[in-house]
A and B are shown apart, each in its own frame.
Chain A
Amino acid sequence: KAGVTQTPRYLIKTRGQQVTLSCSPISGHRSVSWYQQTPGQGLQFLFEYFSETQRNKGNFPGRFSGRQFSNSRSEMNVSTLELGDSALYLCASSFASGNQADTQYFGPGTRLTVL
């Protein structure tokens, strides 16, 4: 089965712009989570979507938002970009059977650079 895919893989934006990243989960997976990875802060949880609803949210400002579509694909949006938003954004999907130990499968990430 195809893995988690993310588009685009690389993105360069300037401060003040907004950006939308896309994630396609593994077929049959219903939960999609987003993480930000930076050298200083490491991997930090952004939010998690299940059945088009945000179930969990990390400690990020409201400029970071997301949504999930009926086919489980997810997008995340960052508005009014700041230099500090430069990071690798990872998407992960899981089957979400209700078992809290469900494995999360990660995509390759989108590398966002803000100039």
Chain B
Amino acid sequence: AQRVTQPEKLLSVFKGAPVELKCNYSYSGSPELFWYVQYSRQRLQLLLRHISRESIKGFTADLNKGETSFHLKKPFAQEEDSAMYYCALSRGGAGSYQLTFGKGTKLSVIP
């Protein structure tokens, strides 16, 4: 069975400081990894996914299969980054749209 762990419930950083939201996963196959974000009073939305290897809003995430991690990083935090962040895993395979989510990390950027 797959599992996603986000060890921090709350992370507070000062504006301009680097941010790292941790995500570790457990899955025996080749998963797809995602980061979803939920801003205040908005719906859950995709931030980025490992297969795209892109940077969105200054955030990047690298899949480390050896450490089974997919940490989300941003070099300089902005106040608008304050939100709830969820790491998610899809078990892969055609037709598989079942996401397993971590419990989420609330990021608070202090002005």
Contacts and interface: CB of A to CB of B under 8 A. Distances in A.
Interface of A: 3-4, 31, 33, 35, 42-45, 48, 50, 55-56, 58, 90, 92, 94, 96, 98, 100-109
Contacts of B97: 31, 33, 48, 50, 55-56, 94, 96, 100, 102, 104
Top 7 A-B pairs ranked by shortest CB distance? A43-B101, A106-B44, A42-B103, A101-B51, A56-B98, A101-B32, A45-B98
Nearest to B52: A101
Interface of B: 32, 43-46, 49, 51-52, 86, 90, 92-104
A102 B103 CA distance: 22
Nearest to B32: A101
Interface of A is mostly: strand
Contacts of A90: 44
12 contacts: A35-B101, A43-B104, A48-B98, A55-B97, A100-B93, A100-B94, A101-B49, A101-B51, A101-B52, A106-B44, A107-B43, A108-B43
Contacts, number: 64
B96 A100 contact: yes
A58 B98 contact: yes
Contacts of B98: 33, 45, 48, 56, 58
Contacts of A103: 46, 49
A106 B44 CA distance: 6
A42 to B, nearest CB: 4
Contacts of B101: 35, 42-44
Given A42-B103, A56-B97, A56-B98, A106 B32 contact: no
Contact of A106 (B45, B90, B94, B95): B45
